Amino acid sequence: MPRGRELPESLSESAAELVVELRTVKSRSGLTLVALERKTAYSKSSWERYLNGRTLPPADAVRALCTVAGCDPVPLVALREVAAADAAARKEWEERKEREERADLDEGGERGDGLGQGAGPLSPSAHVATEPDPVPRTAGDPGPWWRRWPALVVLGAGVAVAGGVLAAEPWQSESRAAAPRSPFTSAHDGPYVWGREASYPCRIQQHSGRTYAGHSGTHQTVLAHNSTSWDVVEAQCLLHEAGFDPGAVDGVYGPRTEQAVKRLQAKAGIEDDGLVGPDTWKVLRG
């Protein structure tokens, strides 16, 4: 499955980023769809739908992929839960819109709207144009998936992953380009995509006494070996800022990044397990 295949425009950013991450894991593993069908409980057609962005994969499918491909499932399961929350919020908004439009039509038919007694309900094309309702919002902060966490708690591999205290982002729309950018993700555009020659800039800044690098505002996301995301880019930038060289700032949590994390943890007097969790983020943020 080529990672570059175009995704459906209807996907939210969190869902699109999840598909990109799943494609990356599959590509690195060298597994075919037939192999995935053979090694997991999910069919070839199911994996094709998941990797084409037509269906949101269940959390167990994400874990199964990581089991056979040798990756850490925690960040991907967390991202999958964010995408599911986004989808639920969007569905709720669409249903509410439909109910409101139906109520408007019924109300217009009852009062006639000046068209005469018994004129009957107006057709949608006869309705007076009104300003559209505000786009639906989710309980996250504008930008990549960390900013749309709806007070999410994901349990995986014994780790609780929770969204920070963040503000909300509108659903994608034609006017999305005009939406205000979050200062926490001002150093990049769009979902993270891994590339062999990728190298990302670090935009070091201070907010409320804490340090950020322009790629993520998370304080909770758990990062481990083989993780790939904007959160990893953020951690790599902050490691550089703290004087611990993680190697290339490419968003790939490889051996050099893990060693840099362990050195930082040892110096800070916290458990040097090489995992970036809440305690390590606290040290990185300052």
Residue 2 clears pLDDT 60, i.e. is over it: no
Average pLDDT over residues 147-155: 42
For residues 284 and 242, the answer to whether their CB atoms sit within 8 Å is yes
Average pLDDT over residues 157-168: 38
Q: Provide φ and ψ at 219, rounded to 5°.
A: -125, 0
b/e map of 116-125 (b: 16 or more CB within 10 Å)? eeeeeebeee
Question: For the chain, what percent of residues have pLDDT higher than 70?
Answer: 71
Find, among 53, 47, 55, 69, the residue nearest to 19 by Cα: 53
Q: Is 98 helix (H, G, I), strand (E, B) or coil?
A: helix
pLDDT in tens, 248-272: 999 999 899 999 999 999 999 999 9
Residue 161 clears pLDDT 60, i.e. is over it: no
Q: Output the pLDDT for position 272.
A: 92
The end-to-end CA distance of the chain, in Å, is 41
Q: Output the pLDDT for position 125.
A: 39
Mean pLDDT computed over every residue of the chain:
76
For residues 50 and 11, the answer to whether their CB atoms sit within 8 Å is no
Q: Residue type at 237?
A: C
Q: Output the pLDDT for position 101.
A: 85
Q: Provide φ and ψ at 132, rounded to 5°.
A: -65, 150
- The reply to whether the predicted model has a pTM over 0.75 is no
Task: Pick 106 or 94 by higher pLDDT.
Answer: 94
Task: Pick 107 or 214 by higher pLDDT.
Answer: 214
Q: Output the pLDDT for position 234.
A: 94
Position 192 confidence tier, pLDDT thresholds 50, 70, 90:
confident
Find, among 251, 236, 276, the residue nearest to 20 by Cα: 251
Decide: residue 197, CB within 10 A, 0-12 exposed, 13-18 middle, 19+ buried: exposed
pLDDT in tens, 202-226: 999 998 889 999 999 999 898 988 7
pLDDT in tens, 53-87: 889 999 999 999 999 898 999 989 999 999 999 88
For residues 240 and 250, the answer to whether their CB atoms sit within 8 Å is no
Average pLDDT over residues 126-136: 41
Average pLDDT over residues 219-241: 90
